[in-house]
A = this chain, B = another copy of it.
Amino acid sequence: MPTQSLQGLIETKQSFLCVGLDLDPAKLPAGLKPTPADMLAFNKAIIEATLPYAVAYKVNTAFYEAMGAAGWALLEQTRSLLPASVYTIADAKRGDIGNTARQYARAFLSVLDFDALTVNPYMGIDTLEPYLREPKGDIFVLACTSNPGFADFEGLKTEKGTYLYEEVVLRSEALQQSGRVHYVAGATRPEMLGNVRKLAPGATLLVPGVGAQGGDLASCFAAGYTVGGPLLINASRSILYAGSGPDFAELAAKEAAQMAHEMGVMLASL
């Protein structure tokens, strides 16, 4: 558990930056090899360099799973590098029935001890409940994402005239008495992010898609940041691979500092 609430962390650091640790062995800076030791050293350097500017870290599990059991060990070791002074998210997008969801809940919220897990709502609300039966841990329910394929299903209109992603938020809010339900809303569609905020005024919105995917920080802030409902803006590639030489950590820090500075200005305007 983080030593402060996420709101407290944001107030202290005047930042709502989440750094995404999407570890790609093919993109390591010059001088680092795709060995477990070097990759862990890379993550450590990135975490240390960005810690003054980030309130949260998101670990994309796919990049670790692609390396097999050694990758899973690296995921565990990376989790251990994250201090209690930040909020930690496993970006695993799990979704399955009760019996199986309980295993995922245990894997990420207890065994790996993340503060939160991203989950996929497609199979229904009963597949979200098992996470909330763990002693602690938040869920970030996928609402509307930043990819073009958004329109296929998330953006489909229901017979009620609502969009599917709005139904997802409406129905997931039935679990909100727990205070542990939050949402993923992509940066590339600020108007939809604003719709999610209206339906879930007290939730934290995890926002991927700023930077490499073309989303805009100021538009997202205007659409969805409120005093009682923060955003977490995630940046992965733009920070991790800001440099490709031995100064990669310095350049990552510079990129994170720039984003946090912009965020601080926005927070001051609230």
Chain A residues in the interface with B (C-beta under 8 A): 22, 60, 62-63, 65-69, 71-73, 75-76, 93-101, 103-104, 106-107, 111-112, 120-127, 142, 145-154, 156-159, 161, 164, 167-168, 171
Q: Which 3 A-B pairs have the closest CB atoms?
A: A124-B149, A126-B149, A62-B103
Q: Tell me if B125 and A152 are in contact (CB < 8 A).
A: yes
Q: Which of B75, B123, B147, B158 contacts A149 (CB 8 A)?
A: B123
The answer to whether residues A152 and B124 also contact, given A60-B100, A72-B69, A73-B69 and a CB cut-off of 8 A, is: yes
Closest residue of chain B to A147 (Cβ to Cβ) is B97
What B residues does A151 contact at CB under 8 A?
124
What B residues does A107 contact at CB under 8 A?
62, 65-68, 71
What B residues does A104 contact at CB under 8 A?
62, 65-66
What B residues does A168 contact at CB under 8 A?
153
Q: Which of B69, B94, B159 contacts A69 (CB 8 A)?
A: B69
Q: Which of B67, B126, B148 contacts A124 (CB 8 A)?
A: B148
Q: When chains A and B are docked, how far (Å) is the Cα of A122 from the Cα of B153? A: 6
Q: When chains A and B are docked, how far (Å) is the Cα of A171 from the Cα of B150? A: 13
Closest residue of chain B to A63 (Cβ to Cβ) is B103
What B residues does A66 contact at CB under 8 A?
103-104, 106-107, 111
Q: Tell me if B164 and A164 are in contact (CB < 8 A).
A: yes
Q: When chains A and B are docked, how far (Å) is the Cα of A166 from the Cα of B101? A: 24
Cβ of A87 to closest chain B Cβ, rounded Å: 21
Known contacts A71-B107, A93-B120, A153-B168; 20 additional CB pairs below 8 A are: A60-B103, A62-B96, A62-B101, A62-B103, A65-B104, A68-B76, A71-B72, A72-B72, A93-B96, A97-B145, A120-B120, A123-B150, A123-B154, A125-B149, A126-B147, A126-B152, A127-B147, A153-B167, A153-B171, A158-B159
